[in-house]
Amino acid sequence: MGASEALIVPNDIDAALSDPRVLWTEDILRFADTDALGHINNTTFSVLCESGRVHLLASRINPTLPAGVFFVIARLAIDFRAELHYPGAARTGTWITRIGRSSLAVAQMILSGGQLAATSEAVCVLMDSTTRRPAPLPDQARRAAEALLRAPEA
Amino acid sequence: MGASEALIVPNDIDAALSDPRVLWTEDILRFADTDALGHINNTTFSVLCESGRVHLLASRINPTLPAGVFFVIARLAIDFRAELHYPGAARTGTWITRIGRSSLAVAQMILSGGQLAATSEAVCVLMDSTTRRPAPLPDQARRAAEALLRAPEA
Amino acid sequence: MGASEALIVPNDIDAALSDPRVLWTEDILRFADTDALGHINNTTFSVLCESGRVHLLASRINPTLPAGVFFVIARLAIDFRAELHYPGAARTGTWITRIGRSSLAVAQMILSGGQLAATSEAVCVLMDSTTRRPAPLPDQARRAAEALLRAPEA
Amino acid sequence: MGASEALIVPNDIDAALSDPRVLWTEDILRFADTDALGHINNTTFSVLCESGRVHLLASRINPTLPAGVFFVIARLAIDFRAELHYPGAARTGTWITRIGRSSLAVAQMILSGGQLAATSEAVCVLMDSTTRRPAPLPDQARRAAEALLRAPEA
């Protein structure tokens, strides 16, 4: 399943866990996350991805932004690799894979019980709240993003 | 189970359906609403209740309010009477049962497939956004609420 | 707002935290739990209540049950006492307040940041999966429930 | 953003709306779907995609399957093209774009208010419930899928 398929090899989890450029968030799975198939519904994976993305942006990038701009998500792709089950928890690792003129691409891995449950890729675009058009990343935001940059081949 | 238990008798559904003081909202049940027991998770009932409450407040009461006040929910009680299933839809009827100094009490019935799935009662309190304290209902809001007032014994 | 209003006095949180009859679950709030008012949506409170109830039943009562019976929720009442905010976490304490012929009543308190965010009461009914009618609580389940019984006036 | 970006041109919506190989589901947006940014949270888009996928599989493919196999989602990619707002509704069109040995690829478009809100692509894999390994698509399921096949360039 494309680039992300090639990205994860057995020792990638250990590498991500020890890489300071990967930010980790923890989520606790809820009974309300289950579905009629008895496992955690696939839409919860997108909730976990969002927790990780919002944490990265809110803690590292947004504090550098001027007023009047904000990030929106333009694309999200999730590769589902294992079921998640209730009760349980999940950890989501998020890092930046590409810094564009107005966008940041991020990659993520979701772990549960030491196992890889999913990988994902997302593109976040900086928007001007007045014009509702993409805004160029300010230099300070670009520098903050570079500190978390970890290319797919890293 | 209290007042709402006594409230619903067989012909109450018909009465509510034909009563202009009852506002109806429709929701479509989603696969993501199911849980590991195979039916719609009970937390979705509170989502349906919210759809009905927000519709009543947004369409009938909020347009009469001055700036600087807003409603919060202080209490929600749901009596579950039948399971909901996917695929399916639900209709929620909402009316006002009591007009307090700073609050509105509403009652609701959730129908699906012609059957009563739940009843609920909620208390919404008007808050002052500056002081974060309850604000008295303005006269115009009170009059708008009176048009939807349908006492439990109605 | 009724019995639960009277129930919580300033030192009740400390009492609950140190009472072995109160089972605690932890939830991590998610960005997806927020709503257009900027805080955690009220329906998430019912999700937290469910996490606590399911944990109590699954860990303490269900292991004592024979095949062919299961609990359903018959009533849920939540008193909202403070907003919850993202990012943040919540702890839900759950105990049993009444043991009926076929039902268990539970009470809950939701804490976040050391503050009481909500209290709730719920009634769970044991059902026979064949007849779909309430089933009497078996003696072993009754004894397991009695170990967690903490009357409202306790 | 890849293949799906090229896929949608102005008259594609009309073509999809009149193409019997595209199955449509309707969803009603809920206040609980909003987030702190004031619009419908992005994770709701994955809920809408799931409604469409489940409807296609449950109505057209699953009735042809023998016992002991079921579909899981292996990949989901969503391109977000416009915000969704409450109150409102959304229609999701779903069709099959590729029939593999054990998998079906589907494409979707989400419309709201006559506007394209998102496109998506997903891969669903048929699993053997005993071995938990991919199972080949039975001939009858393959024929049912071919009736909905609509290649990306169609």
Q: What is the 3-state secondary structure (H, E, C) of B40-79?
A: ECHHHHHHHHHHHHHHHHHHHHHHHCCCCEEEEEEEEEEE
The model's confidence at residue D15, banded by pLDDT at 50, 70 and 90, is: very high
Q: Are D124 and D13 in contact (CB under 8 A)?
A: no
Write down which chains contact chain A via at least 3 CB pairs under 8 A.
Answer: B, C, D
Q: How many CA atoms lie within 13 A of B103 on its CB side?
A: 16
Which H or E run contains A48? helix A42-56
Distance CA D154, CA D152 (A): 6
pLDDT for residue D7 is more than 60: no
User: With an 8 Å Cβ cutoff, are C28 and A30 in contact?
Assistant: no
User: With an 8 Å Cβ cutoff, are A36 and B34 in contact?
Assistant: yes
pTM: 0.93
Q: How many CA atoms lie within 13 A of B42 on its CB side?
A: 31
Which residues are CB-contacts of C93 (< 8 A; sequence separation ≥ 6)?
A: C16, C17, C22, C23, C24, C52, C108, C109, C111
Binding-face residues of D in 81-140 toward B, CB within 8 A: 87
pLDDT for position D132: 87
Chain C interface, mutation test: which of B27, B30, B75, most C Cβ atoms within 10 Å?
B75
Average pLDDT for D76-85: 97
Q: Are B93 and B107 in contact (CB under 8 A)?
A: no
Binding-face residues of D in 9-68 toward C, CB within 8 A: 31-32, 34-36, 38-39, 41, 43
Write down which chains contact chain B via at least 3 CB pairs under 8 A.
Answer: A, C, D
Distance CA B23, CA B52 (A): 8
What's the pLDDT tens digit per position in A104-132?
999 999 999 989 999 999 999 999 999 98
The model's confidence at residue C154, banded by pLDDT at 50, 70 and 90, is: very low
Backbone angles phi, psi at B44, to 5 degrees: -65, -30
The model's confidence at residue C101, banded by pLDDT at 50, 70 and 90, is: very high
pLDDT for position B23: 98
Distance CA B100, CA B102 (A): 5
The model's confidence at residue C1, banded by pLDDT at 50, 70 and 90, is: very low
User: With an 8 Å Cβ cutoff, are D75 and A79 in contact?
Assistant: yes
- DSSP, collapsed to helix, strand or coil, labels residue C2 as coil
ipTM of this predicted complex? 0.92
The percent of residues above 90 in pLDDT, for chain C, comes to 88
Distance CA D30, CA C35 (A): 10
**Segments in chain B below pLDDT 70:** 1-11, 152-154
> Which string of b and e fits B129-150 if b means at least 16 CB within 10 Å?
eeeeebbebeeebbebbeebbb
User: With an 8 Å Cβ cutoff, are A80 and D80 in contact?
Assistant: no
pLDDT for residue D44 is more than 80: yes
Q: What domains are there in chain A, each with its CATH number? A: 3-146 (3.10.129.10)
Count of A-C CB contacts under 8 Å: 31
Which H or E run contains D52? helix D42-56
Distance CA D48, CA D120 (A): 10
Digitized pLDDT (tens) for each residue of chain A, 154 residues in all: 344 444 455 568 999 999 999 999 999 999 999 999 999 999 999 999 999 999 999 999 999 999 999 999 999 999 999 999 999 999 999 999 999 999 999 999 999 998 999 999 999 999 999 998 999 999 999 999 999 999 764 4
Cα–Cα distances in angstroms (integers) from residue A132 to residues A122, A135, D82, D114, in the given order? 20, 9, 11, 20
Which residues are CB-contacts of C150 (< 8 A; sequence separation ≥ 6)?
A: C19, C21, C22, C95, C96, C97, C107
What's the pLDDT tens digit per position in C113-130?
989 999 999 999 999 999
pLDDT for position A44: 98
Cis bond upstream, residue C87 (ω within 30): yes
Distance CA B110, CA C109 (A): 27
User: With an 8 Å Cβ cutoff, are D75 and A74 in contact?
Assistant: no
pLDDT for position A132: 87
Bridge partner list, D116: D111
Distance CA B31, CA B5 (A): 30
Please give the span between the terminal C-alpha atoms of chain A, in angstroms, as a whole number. Answer: 19
Chain C interface, mutation test: which of A29, A49, A51, most C Cβ atoms within 10 Å?
A51
Average pLDDT for C7-26: 85
User: With an 8 Å Cβ cutoff, are A32 and C55 in contact?
Assistant: no
What token pair was written down for C31? 């960005």
Which residues are CB-contacts of C44 (< 8 A; sequence separation ≥ 6)?
A: C29, C33, C84
CA A91 centroid distance within chain: 11
Distance CA A8, CA C29 (A): 29
DSSP code at position D60: I
pLDDT for residue C5 is more than 70: no
What's the pLDDT tens digit per position in D101-122?
999 999 999 999 989 999 999 9
> Which string of b and e fits A40-70 if b means at least 16 CB within 10 Å?
bbbbbbbbbbbbbbbbbbeebbeeebeeebe
Of B31, B51, B58, the CB nearest to D30: B51
Average pLDDT for D140-150: 97
Burial of A95 (C-beta count, 10 Å sphere; 0-12/13-18/19+): buried
Distance CA B135, CA B65 (A): 11
Cα–Cα distances in angstroms (integers) from residue B106 to residues B18, B127, C97, D64, D120, in the given order? 18, 17, 27, 47, 40
Cis bond upstream, residue D63 (ω within 30): no
pLDDT for residue C9 is more than 70: no
What token pair was written down for B5? 């238990």
Distance CA D42, CA A71 (A): 12
User: Which three-class secondary structure string do you get for chain B?
Assistant: CCHHHHHCCCCHHHHHHCCCCCEEEEEECCHHHECCCCCECHHHHHHHHHHHHHHHHHHHHHHHCCCCEEEEEEEEEEEECCCCCCCCEEEEEEEEEEECCCEEEEEEEEEECCEEEEEEEEEEEEEECCCCCECCCCHHHHHHHHCCECCCCC
Distance CA C87, CA D4 (A): 34
The percent of residues above 70 in pLDDT, for chain D, comes to 91
pLDDT for residue D2 is more than 80: no
Distance CA B107, CA B4 (A): 8
